[in-house]
Structure 1
């Protein structure tokens, strides 16, 4: 994922209406924009603009079937973001938690004797 694609995903997720639209599409695979419009208090044109931002970011896929365009959630961009940042922080915090566990389980320490040094 390049920086431009990353920016598009974050831009798409920065708006609460788009997040709601994405949640609805994820919960109702194959739904159409017409079916989702009742959930929003904005115009169809406004909703279409929000959908286009989600499509441009790759978070939603549309498949034209006659006059309809069923919508599907695409989790790949979110997974790529998670892998980019989540993995590096997961390793750090997992090691910190293991150190904390070892410090707490040491028989010679009581919880009142633990210091910040023991935990970090």
Structure 2
């Protein structure tokens, strides 16, 4: 069983806030945005948006790249994938296995056995 880490805690805490999830959605739809571009879509002051983005950066959900004088924000999907692998995938596999077995049973592939 994988151990929980501080990184996973940061990811869950960062994604718990709807404003931060909106930032991730904005970057998913158009990656590489400046703070100004993000603020145009967020219903908050620039200072509040900066605080939310810093939390996402600390959780490694956003990466910053400087292009000249512009600070561009990019989504980093790796921590989300790690959460998926740890917390979602194993439940999907059970459900899909059940659905497969049910399909076989309903179609009579088990010849009346369960």
Category of TM-score, reference length = shorter chain = 0.7 to 0.9
| Secondary structure of residue in 1 paired with 2:80 | helix
In the TM superposition, 1:1-120 aligns within 5 A as 2-106=4-108
After superposition, the C-alpha distances for 1:23-77 in whole angstroms (9 at most, x for unaligned) are 1112111210011211122111110000001101111100123321111111000
TM-score norm. by structure 1 comes to 0.81
After superposition, the C-alpha distances for 1:67-105 in whole angstroms (9 at most, x for unaligned) are 211111110001111111233223322221122112211
> Runs of 5+ in structure 1 lacking a partner?
110-117
* Structure 1: 4+ residue segments shifted above 4 A: none
User: Number of matched residues?
Assistant: 110
Q: Which has the larger radius of gyration?
A: 1
Deviation at residue 2 of structure 1 after TM alignment: 4.6
TM-score norm. by structure 2 comes to 0.85
> Runs of 5+ in structure 2 lacking a partner?
none
Whole-angstrom CA distance in 2 between matches of 1:80 and 1:45 = 30
Query: Which structure's residues are more often strand, by fraction?
Result: 2
Aligned Cα RMSD in Å? 2.0
